[in-house]
Amino acid sequence: MRFVRLSHGSGGEETNELLSELLFSRVPEAMKRVPGGLGIDLPDDGAVIPAKDGFFVVSTDSYTVNPPFFPGGNIGMLAATGSINDVVVMGAKPIAGLDSVIVEEGFPIEDLETILGSLVDVFKKEGVALVGGDFKVMPKGGIDRIVITTTVLGIAERPIVDLPKEGDRLVVTDFVGDHGAVIMMLQMGLGNAEELKCGMLKSDAKPLTPLLPVIEAHSGQINAARDITRGGLGGVLNDWARNSETVLVVEGNLPIREPVRRYSEMLGIDPIYLASEGAALFSVKAEAAQDFVEDLRKHGFENARIIGEVRKSEKYRGYVLMKTVVGGFRVVEPPRGELVPRIC
Amino acid sequence: MVMGKEEKSGTRQIEGLERVFRNNAELAKMLVGYIGKFYNRLKNDFGTFKIMDFCGTHEWTITHYGLRSLMPEGLELVAGPGCPVCVTPSHYIQSALKLGFEGVVVYTYGDVFRLPSLKRVNGAGSLAEAKALGADVRIVTGIADAIADARSHGKDAVFLGIGFETVASGYAQALIRGLLPDNLKLMSLVKLTPPAMLATVEILAKERSAVKGIIAPGHVSTITGAKAWKPVADRLGIPVVVTGFEPIDVLIAIAEALKQLVRNEAKVSIEYTRAVSWEGDLKAQEMIAEAFRVVEDAWRGIGFLPESGLRISESYSSCDAFREYGIPEIAPEYCQEDLPKGCKCAEIVIGKEKPTNCPLFMKKCRPSSPVGPCMVSLEGTCAIWARFGADGLADRIAEDLDLR
């Protein structure tokens, strides 16, 4: 007998394999999208549905973060932010959202108030109407504290459908891995680390709506955009390389904060696979890339930079190649398995 | 809040170290130049030969930073038995599974959690599966976590103590100070590295491409001291370099080993001087000697090696899970067939085969569904190769794209 393992939910290869087997393979090709749109036929941040003057973009996500409160935020703001960001990186302006909350019996009302308060704050601040939702309670032990699902709808004139092209430059908007590092440290009992206590390291969860004017100004130059969440930068790069049948070449010195690097190393985890919740990766035409970066910096993404390029090879497709800091080469594999600490 | 002065200077120190030992393309280039020069002087006499690392973290550094792609053709970097999870016989995992199903809380490290057992126990082929089937298995990062947790619940519990000398000092301290609560027992499966190093190099001496130099484990040496490797250098007549874990450390170690070979020397030298001394941590050595007894131990895929394992000594036997639960030691006949069919972990663990030569590698045996033990731990050679596309794939792609 086979069992569902935690790694099946990590958003990496195992998730793909399981969902392909149990779900995607059962949906008829024609039913994987609406005519003229995009759906589960192409793995992207959200689905695209043609509308009268443009497109609807819709995205949904469930949030189960342990612990629900963490330096830099909580599960409520994360749930609102996450789905908004999925819509933004499709090049769409988010307009409406729904939320579905399941809470465990015995959960403190005060905590629930804080969580829902910050969820609403994010929607309010971003001008996204909260137009519906659901609320359920499960008996004690039936669920781990709280699960929130959010769905966000946006509108786009020209949605960004991820397909990096040969010659494109890869642009990252910020440091990567902060959110994943914080959560990992809390789970591994490193919550008292000085960097967390003094605020030097916190979750980077934030809405990416300030990207919208930059995306609009460079419309037609962007061949792919994705927010870097589960699976981290390594996950996005591998998805893109596989889908576009290219080789993505990245530099070894990636924008990863020093404490993120250090704690990852200590716990035996490659920070390239750690989630961010407020950073995105773009694939931009080479001639526009430098301008794009400068524009990002002007719009508050001071750490934006080019980290690599898209190449084509006859022989090799779907690989992410890194040129290491000492001049060697290695392949960046897709994320696999639960993130587990090592010993010795 | 702002950071205090101390933290700031700590961060600066780390950044400084990284600049020297990691982000240092210039020094790397120079060292690669030396390695090439030394190798040219050796290749007529030696032909193709190997430098072997003995620590999963070194193998990680070598593949993570693509160091193999910087070596001259004919100089192979291979991994030896440097992963404690890989060399722990399945028998002991099965014993832990059995305890788990009998209601004993089992504490384990993350990578042991997924280690497949050869035989299923109550339908479970690993501690992860046992947990899914209802056994109480908990992942911890060290024995201290297990002690705190076992104290809080009071149920019968066992800590699966897999590791090398590095973890032994922590276990010894816990035993000597009486930190283990009555309900928590330690199943010591600690292995000692020098005997494995001797055995491995001797096996490979009969091969076409012999091991001519050793990158010795830095972490282990902080405890044992570099002196622990002297018998290896003396008996085998090859250089042993105690090495740190940054890419520059490893390149220096390779250059040092080749330099000794050119000069016809076979010494133990310390590259990792910022952490390792000749004598090592004498206090830790003393504690290990008191809390443990040295036994002939079974290495998965290799067999029994004399004086290569630690079990709890008589004075602390009240903490010994082997005694408490009557866990039998592995019988020699089981040691022969300790790996799944087709799995080449036995050869891979001693550096005789590359993971890419195993028929199961990345086919039936993948990080998401490991078959052999070397695919499980992040320190296992197969798992590292699976993660970093070793065996020249990265080189071939770089070549094809004209990136050199």
Report the CATH number that the domain containing residue A192 is assigned in CATH.
3.90.650.10
Is position A23 within any domain? no
Q: Verify that A82 and A176 share a domain, yes or no.
A: no
Residue of B254, B397, B400 to mutate for A, most A C-beta atoms under 10 A = B397
Euclidean distance between the first and the last CA atom of chain A, given in angstroms as a whole number? 33
Which chain A residues contact residue B66 at CB under 8 A? Answer: 322, 324, 326-330
Looking at residue A124, its pLDDT comes to: 98
Q: Note whether A300 and A224 are same-domain residues.
A: yes
Q: How far apart are CA A301 and CA A40, in angstroms?
A: 31
Is B251 touching A (CB cutoff 8 A)? yes
Is the CB of B85 inside 8 Å of chain A's CB atoms? Answer: yes
Contact, B201 vs B148, CB < 8 A?
no
Assess whether A149 and A106 both reside in one domain: yes
Report the distance separating Cα A55 and Cα A159, nearest Å.
7
Residue B33 distance to chain A (closest CA, Å): 13
Backbone φ and ψ of B293, nearest 5°:
-120, 145
Q: Is A200 on the interface with B (CB under 8 A)?
A: yes
Q: How many domains does chain A have?
A: 2
- Read off the pLDDT band of B1 (50, 70, 90): very low
Mean pLDDT for B259-288 is 96
B197-251 residue pLDDT tens: 998 888 888 877 889 999 999 999 999 999 999 999 999 999 999 999 999 999 9
Residues of B in contact with A234 (CB under 8 A): none
Q: Where are the beta strands (DSSP E) in A86-174?
A: 93-104, 129-138, 146-156, 169-172
Question: Is residue A319 located within the same domain as residue A188?
Answer: yes
pLDDT above 70 covers a percentage of chain B that reads: 96
Q: Which residues contact B258 (CB under 8 A, 6 or more apart)?
A: B34, B35, B38, B39, B42, B213
Q: Determine the CATH number of domain B90-192+280-336.
A: 3.40.50.11740
Q: Does A325 touch chain B (CB under 8 A)?
A: yes
Q: Is A26 on the interface with B (CB under 8 A)?
A: no
Q: Identify whether residues A176 and A318 lie together within a single domain.
A: yes
For residues A258 and A211, membership in a common domain is answered with yes
Question: What pLDDT band is residue B260 in, cutting at 50, 70 and 90?
Answer: very high
Q: Are residues A192 and A111 in the same domain?
A: no
Query: Last residue of a domain, which of A123, A156, A189?
Result: A156
Maximum CA extent, chain A = 61
Q: CB contacts < 8 Å between A and B, how many?
A: 173
B362 touches chain A (CB under 8 A): no
Spatial distance between the Cα atoms of B108 and B127, rounded to a whole number of angstroms: 9
Mean pLDDT computed over B273-293: 96
d(CA A86, CA A89): 6
**pLDDT tens sequence across A258-308:** 999 988 877 778 899 999 999 999 999 999 999 999 999 999 999 999 999
Whole-number pLDDT of residue A192: 86
Q: Are residues A133 and A200 in the same domain?
A: no
Closest partner residue to B3 (CB to CB) among A12, A200, A316 is A200
Q: For A235-269, write each residue's pLDDT tens digit.
A: 999 999 999 999 999 999 899 999 999 888 777 78
The pLDDT of residue A335 = 82
Q: Do A208 and A236 have their domain in common?
A: yes
**Beta carbons of B84 and A343 less than 8 Å apart:** yes
Structure tokens at A38: 């995009």
Please report whether residue A2 resides in a domain.
Answer: no
Instruction: Indicate whether A342 belongs to any domain.
Output: no
Mean pLDDT by 10 residues, chain A (344 residues): 80 83 94 94 88 95 93 97 97 98 98 98 98 97 95 96 96 97 87 89 97 96 95 94 96 93 82 95 98 98 97 94 92 73 47
Query: Do A110 and A235 have their domain in common?
Result: no
ipTM above 0.90, yes or no: no
Q: Look-up: residue for tokens 């963490």?
A: A70
Contacts of B7 in chain A (CB under 8 A): 194-195, 198, 200
CATH number at residue A117: 3.30.1330.10
DSSP states of A272-289: GGS--SS-EEEEE-HHHH
Q: Could you tell me how far CA A277 lies from the centroid of its own chain? A: 6
With CB atoms and an 8 Å threshold, state whether A336 touches B366: yes
Which residues, listed in sequence order, are joined to residue B75 by a DSSP beta bridge?
B49
Band the pLDDT of B334: cuts 50, 70, 90: confident
Q: B143-153 vs B165-176: helix axis angle to the nearest 10?
A: 40
Q: Pick the range with the lowest mean pLDDT from B106-115, B137-146, B291-300, B389-398.
A: B389-398
CA distance A99 to chain B (A): 30
Q: Whose CA is closest to B65, among B389, B386, B381?
A: B389
Cβ neighbours of residue B15 closer than 8 Å, sequence gap 6 or more: A258
When pLDDT is cut at 50, 70 and 90, the band that residue B2 belongs to is: very low
- Confidence at residue A341, expressed as pLDDT on a 0 to 100 scale: 47
Last residue of a domain, one of A156, A184, A210: A156
pLDDT computed for residue B8 by the predictor: 59
Cβ neighbours of B132 in A, within 8 Å:
3-5
Contact call for residues B379 and B111 (beta carbons, < 8 A)? yes
Q: Which residues of A touch B56 (CB under 8 A)?
A: 342, 344
User: What is the value of pTM for the model shown?
Assistant: 0.81
Question: Which member of B4, B162, B389 has the closest CB to residue A331?
Answer: B389
CB-nearest partner of B67 from A322, A328, A336: A328
Q: Where are the domains of chain B?
A: 90-192+280-336
Same domain, A199 and A310: yes
Domain of residue A320, residue span: 169-331
Reply yes or no on whether the pLDDT at B331 is more than 90: no
Residue A12 covered by a domain: no
Check whether residue A283 and residue A313 sit in a common domain: yes
